[in-house]
Structure 1
């Protein structure tokens, strides 16, 4: 519980987050006891949180990103927001999808949290470019909106990405589909313009 409190309310955990403290069976028993005492909440099999509590609404749902990160830690994998979520994160879409989709190099898994769904989909390395980074989000947003809105993605990304993120984009652009590369390179090249300007 001390570790859960240290992370703060809203933290999401799996038993593997505590294996440095005790053996799996002991961790499972401790988590079960904390859930029974109302200190932690069981979200799904092997997934717990220390919920934020709203004075009127009660315990709030955890952030989808925190759930995805906890599941990735459990399997030692990487995750990257995908599709409509990536476009929304860049401000290219105002729609907040009810399903939060993530690509992962780990196993696929779906967690239902009330009306929200966190969906991890196993993806091949060619679909997981710079996972977990803002550069990876740009690639996924571009994949979602397509060629038609590539210029919009370039404009937003050129403003939002740091010089470091743009370098990551430049070094990973070769892994992207051919139609995306010119856009990714043009975003990455804005760093040169800024350095010279």
Structure 2
């Protein structure tokens, strides 16, 4: 996957250029990788609590007015009745799925929905994607000798990696492309 991502970056951006925000929409492979990463590792496992304004029935369960409701987005995004091989990282699953971050599809909403939708969505769609693309394009990444990638999580209010990631970076671009300001 890393090689495909680098190839897409080279095809769109070029080997001796830096990533610009205008490139993001032309990098679907990397966008699908971001969506799959957010599906497997949502920032908040439990969305901000909701309080129904009236008693209602959801999925056959009576929810009383004023109850504090937490939505387990972590479980929804790993539900085998929704996702094929839900614990497997498979960015290709988004080739035929239209998924934006708007929260309109309740099977795919890592940033909540409705009035409680995260205000940081625009940042993910532009700044985080731009940063990720830049880091992948500018450096080759590898683990230290003998290390294995551990993606296990530590649960809390936000999800974190259980063990910090240690990576060795090697510049991919020429110094001119990395440091020259147009």
Q: What range is the shorter-chain TM-score in?
A: under 0.3
More helix by share: 1
What is the TM-score with the length of structure 2 in the denominator?
0.22
More strand by share: 1
Higher relative contact order (CA 8 A, sep 6+): 2
What is the TM-score with the length of structure 1 in the denominator?
0.21
